[in-house]
Amino acid sequence: MPLRSSFLAGLLATLALAACSLQEASNRADSVALEGTKRGASKSWNPNTWQPPAVDSTPDDPYEAAVYRGLAILTHTHDSLPNYAPSSLNCTSCHLDEGRRPNAAPLAGVMARYPRYIDRVNAVVPIEDRINYCFTRSLSGSRLPNDSREMQDLVAYFAYISKGVPTGEHVRGEGMVTMARLPADSSRGRPLFVENCARCHGPDGAGMGTIPALWGGRSFSIGASMARVERAASFIRHNMPFDRPGSLSDQQSYDIAAYVTSMTRPDLPGKENDWPAGGVPGDVPYDTKSKKSAHPIKPIPRLNAAGAVVTAPVSVLRNR
């Protein structure tokens, strides 16, 4: 009997070892296959030839319908969501050509890069948080519930125009070009604004018709990237005037940006918590806990202050 028990124990141990070895081999095979797939995808990926797919205006299924609704929200944000986007801007006021134009903060391919780390909040955030930063900062509005149909329609559109971009890869003209630093002069910028911008945005920057306001209560907030001189200069240099993009020099773009960003605009509640780990860019027009602004602007109080705050990621809250 002891001999038989010993034999059975040995057999079970052998079988268990074999099972573990098979499992490890299976995992190794899966890993090798996955790495091979990644290498293959990267090999065939060419950002210079990739184009985001066109959106079908006659959707055939619920997903295509969500994509189409997402595009409608993107292009008519204020009309679609007046309670969440009360300003004169739409998403496409900055993300030009339905979020497809290079060097105008394109949304094409964006899903390949999220979740991602954002130094302004010192955390890795999902795409929904990034969308809400746009709503609360650039649109001077309120955050959308992450589980709302409107939020998921926007995510569906972003996913659709990111088809074919491998995870972690980048597209041509991603973001906005970083400008070489130049001394900016708002006094030079004013006549340049009148000559090049006022015919669309109005002499007082309040916008006209569907053209957005550049300052005042219906413009982007002080916490928007466009409220920074260098970011605004890059957008102007590569995309404005709308009918003559690229016609202004770097210096002219900087001077116009200095004039526009010197104007008052809606506040952003909680802005003092930005860049909690330091590294605040020098042209941020408000004080943070880690740095005083060189050119602070007195903002217009927000009417929707509670809705204008995007909850910090859990990783940030735990460190406070």
Contact 109, 52 (CB under 8 A): yes
Please determine whether the domains at 62-160 and 186-311 fall in the same fold group of CATH.
Answer: yes
**Quick check: 236 and 256 in contact, CB under 8 A?**
yes
Q: Which CATH class is domain 186-311?
A: mainly alpha
- Amino acid identity of residue 307, one-letter, is G
> How far apart are the C-alpha atoms of 122 and 240, rounded to whole Å?
32
3 state DSSP class of 230: helix
pLDDT of residue 319: 66
CATH of 62-160, one of 1.10.760.10, 3.40.50.300, 3.10.180.10, 3.90.180.10: 1.10.760.10
What amino acid occupies position 241? Answer: P
Answer whether the bond into residue 241 is a cis peptide, omega within 30°. Answer: yes
Residue 317: per-residue pLDDT: 66
How confident is the model at residue 41, as a pLDDT? 52
Per the CB < 8 A criterion, the answer to whether 194 and 139 are in contact is: no
Domain assignments of the chain as residue spans, ordered by start: 62-160, 186-311
- Reading the chain (320 residues) residue by residue, the pLDDT tens digits are 444 444 444 444 443 444 444 344 444 444 444 344 445 555 689 999 999 999 988 999 999 999 999 999 999 999 999 999 999 999 999 999 999 999 999 999 999 999 999 999 999 999 999 999 999 999 999 999 999 999 999 999 999 999 999 999 999 999 999 999 999 999 999 999 999 999 999 999 999 999 999 999 999 999 999 999 999 999 999 999 999 999 999 999 999 999 999 999 999 999 999 999 999 999 999 999 999 999 999 999 998 899 999 988 776 666 65
